[in-house]
Amino acid sequence: MIAEALAVALLAVLVFITSLGVADRFLLGLGLAWTEELARYLLLWASFLAAIVATRRSAHFKVEFLAEQLGPAYARGIILFSIAVCLVAAWYGVQFAWFFRKQISPALGISMGWVYASVPAGFVGMAFYLFRDLFRSRGASSEGGDVR
């Protein structure tokens, strides 16, 4: 999966950049101001990509007890509510990224729109896999299987 590979790659780069920043601060003294900023932005993107992966694997926190007690209709309702929340968050994330597109980051000189684009990208990815789970739960419940 692309999101998983990207999240792993971003975390590897994040570890390297953070180590470089620490080495610079305590050993080299070069004054690399961009390392902290890049690490912050990589962490943001890696977190949203990891959230997509967790949603794909159904590894996010769920209210399983209530779903088991109230049945498949409740589980589908939770998924529908989650999809709605993700799509609303993605909509506002797009507006936020668009609003800050002209702001330039201080050390890297990149548009902050690219940084804030992680929010809608993450929520759209999560909504996609929740939508997939909605149809899986419908098929599983009609066959008497597990509802997820």
Span 42-66, pLDDT tens digits = 999 999 999 999 999 988 776 677 7
How far, CA to CA in Å, does 124 sit from each of 11, 33, 141? 21, 32, 26
pTM of the model: 0.83
> Per-residue pLDDT tens for 77-121?
888 999 999 999 999 999 999 999 999 999 999 999 999 999 999
Round to whole Å and give the CA distance between 26 and 103: 31
Query: In this structure, is residue 148 part of a structural domain?
Result: no
Instruction: Name the residue range of residue 39's domain.
Output: 2-142
Give me the number of domains the chain comprises: 1
Query: In this structure, is residue 101 part of a structural domain?
Result: yes
